[in-house]
Amino acid sequence: MARPRLVALSVVCLLTAGGAAAQGLFGAPPANAPAESAAPANPPAALPPAESAPAPPVQPGSPTAMVKPFYEHAGLELDPAQRSHFVDPAKSVLDKSDALRKSGQGECLDPNMALDNAEYEKAEIDNSLKTIEAVKGDEAKVVVAFVAAGNPHRLEWKFKKVDGDWKIMDLLSVTGEWALSQYQCE
């Protein structure tokens, strides 16, 4: 039982220590990060590498559970029936995009934002998708990493707890350097 707690604690520590400084899911460390040259004096011999540790189960109603359907059904974020899962600023942008589409003036948002607007094969996404969640009070984020067309992608979903439920307030692409909240759909 201590092993999953240690892995979870390590993940939380990585997120709070700067997120992007962690390898793997979070990318390469910044140029000014100190190199890890020495092994710890008393390494825990019984712990397997982080890659082989099983992922903890996704808790119903958690931010990660809210993100999963967007990777099971591409383009779901643009479905007006999903709007109840969003709050401002993301909800306002999505509502304006809906209004623009209904007016016949065109599209404002790309059809697969959750997939970083990349061309993809579902099997490649399914085989490479990794998520990590961090909750702090009434706010949370889920970092999602996956490979599409052989290229790594990383997105961050930001959440806010509203009336006891997690709602998506923004979606940011670390790879593509865009944020849903920054779109001007007018």
Domain encompassing residue 177: 60-186
Number of folded domains in the chain? 1
Residue 19 lies in a domain: no
DSSP string, 93-139: HHHHHHHHHHTTS---S-TTGGGTT----HHHHHHH-EEEEEEETTE
Indicate if the pLDDT at residue 12 is higher than 90.
Answer: no
User: How many angstroms separate the CA atoms of 102 and 91, rounded?
Assistant: 16
> 3-state DSSP call for residue 60?
coil
Which backbone phi and psi does 30 adopt, to 5 degrees? -65, 160
Q: What is the pLDDT confidence band of residue 172, given thresholds at 50, 70 and 90? A: very high
Residue 37 lies in a domain: no
Indicate if the pLDDT at residue 94 is higher than 80.
Answer: yes
What CATH number is given to the structural domain containing 115?
Answer: 3.10.450.50
For the residues 8-33, what does the mean pLDDT come to?
40
pLDDT in tens, 22-54: 334 444 433 433 343 344 444 434 434 445 456
